[in-house]
Amino acid sequence: MSDGPRVVIIGAGFGGLEAAKALASAPVEVLLIDQHNYHTFQPLLYQVASAALTPEEISHAVRGILRRQRNLTFRLGKVVTIDKEARFVTLEDGTGIGYDYLVLAPGTIYHDFGVPGVREHAFFLKSLTEAVNLRSHLLAQFEAASADPALLEQGALTVVIAGGGPTGVELAGALVELFSRVLTKDFKELPVDRARVVLLELSPTLLSPYHPDSQAYTLKTLKQRGVEVRLNTTVTRVEAQRVHLGGEVISTRTLIWAAGVRASPLAETLGLPLTRGARVPVAADLSLPDYPELFVIGDMSASQDAAGKLHPQVAQLAIQGGKHIAKQLRRRLRGQPGEAFRYRDLGSMATIGRSAAVAELPFGLRLKGLFAWLAWLFLHLLYLVGFRNRLTVLLSWAAEYLTYDRHTRLLAPMVPSPTEQQNRSGRLGAKAPFMKSR
Amino acid sequence: MSDGPRVVIIGAGFGGLEAAKALASAPVEVLLIDQHNYHTFQPLLYQVASAALTPEEISHAVRGILRRQRNLTFRLGKVVTIDKEARFVTLEDGTGIGYDYLVLAPGTIYHDFGVPGVREHAFFLKSLTEAVNLRSHLLAQFEAASADPALLEQGALTVVIAGGGPTGVELAGALVELFSRVLTKDFKELPVDRARVVLLELSPTLLSPYHPDSQAYTLKTLKQRGVEVRLNTTVTRVEAQRVHLGGEVISTRTLIWAAGVRASPLAETLGLPLTRGARVPVAADLSLPDYPELFVIGDMSASQDAAGKLHPQVAQLAIQGGKHIAKQLRRRLRGQPGEAFRYRDLGSMATIGRSAAVAELPFGLRLKGLFAWLAWLFLHLLYLVGFRNRLTVLLSWAAEYLTYDRHTRLLAPMVPSPTEQQNRSGRLGAKAPFMKSR
């Protein structure tokens, strides 16, 4: 263990993990804190929710990832307060931990934009537990409808997804495939062709920041595959078994909220003015203007481009931010001046389903269809943590592509973490998505 | 769907699944009922508990396994009563289901032999949820001790296993390996060499029914690998953080009860005299003497050999029983007389750990050490359900053998099913094995 200054990193997502790794040979002592003992590859959560990958294929124990890093300690726990003046953080169990440098990388939670009922009744897709429990809930709906076909009329097999960004698009595409290719064979006694996936989008287009060609291809492909896409549509209220769109009502037991995110509640405890989505304004080097020893990276950071536009909340922003602040810390320790963070847009991709995706790469290169899908596959395999995970994910995908089957449809809900229970009430809390007695 | 007589099978374990498959081309209508939507390969539960395999590697959706069987329907639910006279079963949700033939294959639950505190405080290893939650609990103990080393003195890293049969032996061997090979690298800040695995056995030998040579090898190997084996030792009382052995007390937060099983509580609802372990006495063909349309197979059946000795409660008994009663059903439908069930002992095996196992095969053939371990590996791969699972399990085991690493140590507890919550109280119920605030 090094005896240098202590760097505390909050969050073992893409940003925190990258920052920790990039400090491996720095003369500092790193303490990484996360409320889970595992890192989750968030961009593939929708594949866990749609029974394509297992939880273990997109998650890895943090201690396992960093076990060779000598200047690092991991602490399982939840940070509840930050004392910027005295430079210490307090965990939920009361432990106080002092720091010389603090890196805030806790990511985001769902943003309900004040729509009533979302917090109580919607499903989210921000954590492994939520993905597993959405999968279990969907399977439970099919089992319930199998036992009592009348439930079909009550929307048991209707899934409504709010939000036509990448998460909503990818999940909608994956779910129609799960229903039409897999569950239709599992539940021969049910008219699975009547199962509905409804994708709602507030704006006039899906995948707002993408090129109109990509948007049009996405819309066309989703519709061809059976997704009911409804643009210019606003959710006004959510009940346990109903979603209200102004005057119209859709009967459903499954509303998935992919309409927006806001920074972790930790942002609000900083006592600073926040931007849209509760992001924390930062100086050019990603530190806080009045607290140069405190850095904010990833989705919580309100870093912006030269035109003053907030950077997109994607994995690359967190990864590049983690690398950047590690470099700045090294520079400071050597007495060198700070450098401004420059986000390099490596492009964005969204999978619509089997052999169909859109990709917008640097230099204006755009792909769609099979080539975009292959590029997506390749890049995601490349980035997945750990050789073993990559290999089994490749096997899973290959097996599913060839057999049209999915191996992981266990109805086996996970216990939400205390934080997940606290950030919401209702469906995912004490109540498990097991089948209920009637 | 066939219109023949209706065969209701309760339980999708080895016995129920085998019976269902063996009836695939019979002129009957099969309804398979289980309270989980997946089949679990129970002999490998200890590998999930010790973070060697993922839940998905030893479980498979029942509908997926049987999706090509045209005369079969699956129903997710829990049978609570059986009306032998009117021939119908009632599910927890109130649904009544009539049958022409009934196959009881619900397996066993733990047997506490009246030892106070076992029900409330012990961990069991009979279901996937229990295995996953034991894994999460163990990881939580290490995380807690990392945060507060004083917990070490309170037995946070002491695991006590009651019962020196195959489950206790295999789990003890797997846990010392997990601690000494994996967690010692994950938790460099902890003196993991002080973690203890204590294996208690009531009788003077481990693996009672095995040959004395196998027993001696097992005892010696476990001790060499660091398991504290205590023979002739009785658990008299269990508290939340203490196990009493008569006057002696061991401080521990983890008592795993592998001392015995009893038939599912469903046996007691039959209104029949039961044998030791609540097994149901059956006629020679595995039907009930006064109810020839009702068969009992697997661990719940009190079938016996020619000498009147109860058959061992192992997977093979259930598999062979399932095949047998399917054959008897076909014979009856053709008006042929019933045949007696003959259990064919294919031998037994127990793994002690890396390159070490004991195997007792037919014709008096005994193996121990590496060859027994290779035989064990081969046979378990052969029997694991579904090609894909076999391949990834092989990969997992190969990767672990070569790297001394385990990829699946997520602290991610599962929600116990309503039945699991009902069969016990305390630790695994509402309280999740997440880290507690102090």
- Asked if B139 is an interface residue toward chain A (Cβ–Cβ < 8 A), one would say yes
pLDDT in tens, B340-367: 999 998 889 999 998 999 999 888 899 9
In words, the CATH class of domain A6-35+77-110+261-333 is alpha beta
Contact A249, A242 (CB under 8 A): yes
Inform me whether the pLDDT recorded for A3 exceeds 80. Answer: no
Q: Which residues of A touch B408 (CB under 8 A)?
A: 56
Q: Which residues of B touch A92 (CB under 8 A)?
A: 437
Contact A19, A105 (CB under 8 A): yes
Q: How far is CA B231 from CA B163, B197, B225, B350, in A?
A: 10, 14, 17, 18
Inform me whether the pLDDT recorded for B431 exceeds 70. Answer: no
- Residue B233: helix, strand or coil by DSSP? coil
Same fold, A6-35+77-110+261-333 and A118-259+355-422: yes
Which one, of A272, A341, A298, lies nearest residue A9 by Cα?
Answer: A298
Inform me whether the pLDDT recorded for A284 exceeds 90. Answer: yes
- Asked if B95 is an interface residue toward chain A (Cβ–Cβ < 8 A), one would say yes
Inform me whether the pLDDT recorded for B406 exceeds 70. Answer: no
Inform me whether the pLDDT recorded for A389 exceeds 80. Answer: no
Contact A10, A102 (CB under 8 A): yes
Q: Which residues of A touch B417 (CB under 8 A)?
A: 434
Catalytic residues of A, which ones?
Answer: 170
Q: How many CA atoms lie within 13 A of B162 on its CB side?
A: 29
pLDDT of the residue at B383: 74
Q: Which residues of A touch B413 (CB under 8 A)?
A: 414-415
pLDDT of the residue at A296: 98
Inform me whether the pLDDT recorded for B21 exceeds 90. Answer: yes
Inform me whether the pLDDT recorded for B276 exceeds 60. Answer: yes
* B354 vs B373: CA distance, rounded Å: 8
Q: Identify the band that residue B414 occupies on the pLDDT scale cut at 50, 70 and 90.
A: confident
CATH topology of domain B118-256+355-422: FAD/NAD(P)-binding domain (3.50.50)
Locate the domains of chain A by residue range.
6-35+77-110+261-333, 118-259+355-422
pLDDT of the residue at A437: 33
* B388 vs B394: CA distance, rounded Å: 10
Could you tell me how many helices (H) and strands (E) chain A has, helices first? 12, 23
- Asked if B384 is an interface residue toward chain A (Cβ–Cβ < 8 A), one would say no
Inform me whether the pLDDT recorded for B90 exceeds 70. Answer: yes
- Asked if A322 is an interface residue toward chain B (Cβ–Cβ < 8 A), one would say no
Which whole number is the average pLDDT over B304-310? 92
Q: Which residues contact B209 (CB under 8 A, 6 or more apart)?
A: B312, B348
Inform me whether the pLDDT recorded for A88 exceeds 80. Answer: yes
pLDDT of the residue at B379: 83
Q: Which residues contact A402 (CB under 8 A, 6 or more apart)?
A: none
| Per-residue b or e along B74-112, where b marks 16 or more CB atoms closer than 10 Å to that residue's CB | bbbbbbeebebeebbbebbeebebebebbbbbbbbbbbb
Which whole number is the average pLDDT over A61-74? 93
Query: In sequence order, what DSSP letters do the residues of B100-130 get, joined into one string?
Result: SEEEE---EEE--TT-TTHHHH-B--SSHHH
Q: Within the 170-209 window of chain A, which residues sit less than 8 Å (CB to CB) from chain B?
A: 185-189
Inform me whether the pLDDT recorded for B437 exceeds 70. Answer: no
The CATH code for residues A118-259+355-422 is 3.50.50.100
pLDDT of the residue at B438: 31
Instruction: Please name the residue that has the structure tokens 């050789």.
Output: A387
Q: Within the 1-60 window of chain B, which residues sit less than 8 Å (CB to CB) from chain A?
A: 36-38, 54-56, 59-60
CA distance A62 to chain B (A): 9
pLDDT of the residue at B426: 40
Q: Identify the band that residue A399 occupies on the pLDDT scale cut at 50, 70 and 90.
A: confident
Inform me whether the pLDDT recorded for A85 exceeds 50. Answer: yes
Instruction: List the catalytic residue out of B18, B29, B130, B170.
Output: B170
pLDDT of the residue at A435: 41
Q: In this predicted structure, which of A40-49, B4-13, B329-338, B398-407 has the lowest mean pLDDT?
A: B398-407
pLDDT in tens, A330-340: 999 999 999 99
* B23 vs B34: CA distance, rounded Å: 17
* A120 vs B265: CA distance, rounded Å: 36
Q: Identify the band that residue B432 occupies on the pLDDT scale cut at 50, 70 and 90.
A: very low
Contact A55, A42 (CB under 8 A): no
Count CB pairs under 8 A between chains A and B: 153
pLDDT of the residue at A402: 73
pLDDT in tens, A346-371: 889 999 998 999 999 888 899 999 99
